[in-house]
């Protein structure tokens, strides 16, 4: 079976070792806004919002860029001088109609990759989704080396982004890291009994932020697919690649948070049984 990652043949020099310049698309979304609030001091941040979101309260975290994914000229300008583009923008709805997915998640993603390449960016971190592999049976833990297997058109749109990312990494010399993100939630949000449906896919805000940081700062990979889950006792996706290749060390576990599972101390029981 083929590898889901490729190492750099030659280490690329970081032009700004103290505060790496990054561009975050989709900055007003749940993932982007939390990421900005908790990492802005670490990077020289530009963040992109749509015209309709121009009043977003993120100004203190970096330089605001007002642009749409369809605006290739604006994207090209936004990528100038940027080391890493964290591409979070797009339609996040698994039930969305194909025309909306095509515009944002396919054409928009293609525009972002093209702009990053043209501007000489080092890397794109692409927000894919667990939906790219959600077609596997529920009792299968999916590894990054497994073929994509979407269950809905939203997942299909993310598969396109993953394939496009590998093309740019292997053929166009633009490093790309793909993150298949699980159920992004506050820890308080999964403490309810009704939250059991994300038991195997939960990723906490702080864990995903830490994973994105690891992806930005790495200088050894040309391409990789990583799974964005917390350290849950039961994991739908395998996270060992992220642990081994970039030192991802998630802190949270759904079973330690949920009101029904926390009293069972499943994580401690598992450790004791090893």
Residue 135 has pLDDT above 70, yes or no: yes
Cα distance between residue 220 and residue 237, in whole Å: 23
Q: Which of the residues are catalytic? A: 154
**Residue 270: predicted pLDDT:** 53
Token duo for residue 129: 């989704």
Whether residue 207 contacts residue 213, with contact meaning beta carbons closer than 8 Å, is answered with no
Nearest 5°: the CA angle 157, 131, 163 is 45
Residue 55: count of CB within 10 angstroms of its CB:
9
**Residue 149: predicted pLDDT:** 98
Token duo for residue 11: 């280490």
When pLDDT is averaged across residues 152-175 and rounded to a whole number, the result is: 98
Residue 40 has pLDDT above 50, yes or no: yes
Kind and range of the H or E element at 129? strand 123-129
Is CATH 3.40.50.720 the right assignment for the domain spanning 5-272?
yes
Residue 16 has pLDDT above 70, yes or no: no
Identify which of 80, 87, 34, 92 has the alpha carbon closest to the alpha carbon of residue 58.
34
**Residue 17: predicted pLDDT:** 55
**Residue 274: predicted pLDDT:** 41
When pLDDT is averaged across residues 146-158 and rounded to a whole number, the result is: 98
Cα distance between residue 113 and residue 124, in whole Å: 7
Residue 77 has pLDDT above 90, yes or no: yes
**Residue 271: predicted pLDDT:** 52
The 10s digit of each residue's pLDDT in 224-271 is 999 999 999 999 999 999 999 999 999 999 999 999 999 988 876 655
Token duo for residue 259: 């009101």
Residue 107 has pLDDT above 60, yes or no: yes
When pLDDT is averaged across residues 73-90 and rounded to a whole number, the result is: 97
When pLDDT is averaged across residues 125-131 and rounded to a whole number, the result is: 98
When pLDDT is averaged across residues 99-124 and rounded to a whole number, the result is: 98
């Amino acid at each position: 079976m083929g590898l889901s990652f490729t190492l750099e043949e030659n280490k690329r020099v970081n032009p700004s070792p103290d505060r790496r310049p990054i561009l975050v698309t989709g900055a007003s979304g749940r993932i982007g806004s939390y990421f900005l609030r908790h990492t802005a001091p670490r990077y020289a941040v530009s963040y992109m919002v749509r015209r309709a979101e121009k009043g977003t309260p993120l100004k203190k975290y970096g330089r605001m860029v007002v642009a749409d994914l369809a605006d290739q000229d604006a994207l090209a300008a936004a990528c100038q001088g940027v080391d890493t583009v964290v591409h979070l923008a797009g339609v996040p709805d698994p039930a969305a109609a194909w025309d909306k997915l095509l515009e944002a998640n396919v054409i928009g993603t293609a525009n972002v990759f093209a702009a990053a390449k043209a501007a000489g960016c080092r890397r794109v971190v692409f927000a894919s989704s667990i939906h790219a592999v959600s077609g596997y049976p529920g009792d299968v833990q999916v590894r990054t080396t497994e073929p994509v297997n979407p269950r809905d058109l939203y997942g299909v749109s993310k598969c396109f982004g993953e394939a496009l990312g590998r093309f740019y990494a292997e053929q166009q010399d633009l490093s790309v890291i793909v993150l298949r993100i699980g159920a992004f939630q506050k820890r308080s949000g999964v403490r309810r009994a009704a939250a059991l449906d994300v038991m195997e896919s939960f990723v906490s805000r702080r864990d995903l932020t830490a994973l994105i940081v690891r992806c930005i700062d790495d200088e050894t990979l040309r391409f990789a697919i990583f799974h964005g889950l917390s350290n849950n006792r039961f994991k739908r996706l395998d996270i060992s690649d992220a642990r081994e290749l970039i030192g991802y060390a998630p802190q949270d576990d759904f079973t330690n948070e949920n009101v029904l599972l926390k009293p069972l101390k499943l994580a401690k029981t598992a450790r004791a049984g090893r």
